[in-house]
Amino acid sequence: MKNMLTDETRSQREKLNKVFEKYKDMPGRLMPVLQEAQEIYGYLPYEIQQRISEALNISISDVYGVASFYSQFNLTPKGKHQISVCLGTACYVKGANKVLERIEEKLGIKNGECTEDRLFSIDSCRCVGACGLAPVIMIDDEVYGNLDVDKVDAILDMYIENEKGGVSDDDQ
């Protein structure tokens, strides 16, 4: 079968094989194997789920069932910068839907998707606990509040420029 995970590296394959070896005889090994596989790849594509199924001698449906049930697991790639748009009541009534639409428009992706270059992904959530700053987004662990479409543009432009200029998160 052709390997559809074309950007998989030898290092990633070797790390995953070590994970299989580490947990091979452990009862309840599926969860830690899924967690470590996601740490290695950033998400759990079908090909990796299939490899886990074969290595652990567990049906692919059981692997997928666990991976799709728990929200900690991602079945699609996530961006380097994960954008969470709060759509809770306080944010929604203050225009969070417009903020989300602007982010989608600027990045060319929809809620739940990742940009082709894997720099950004967008996910909506119900509350980030900053209702007094509504509407709010989080990019990685940074909270941005009192937003409108112009502020969103400036924030995204800053991240885009930092990526182009090679400025790391540690330099900011």
The kind and range of the H/E element at 85 are strand 81-86
pLDDT for 166 equals: 62
Calculate the dihedral angle through the C-alpha atoms of 39, 44, 48, 51, rounding to the nearest 10 degrees: 90
pLDDT digits (tens, 9 = 90+) for 59-87: 999 999 999 999 889 998 899 999 999 99
pLDDT at 5: 59
Tell me the domains of the chain and their CATH numbers. Answer: 10-69 (1.10.10), 81-171 (3.40.30.10)
Angle between helices 96-107 and 149-165 (to 10 degrees): 30
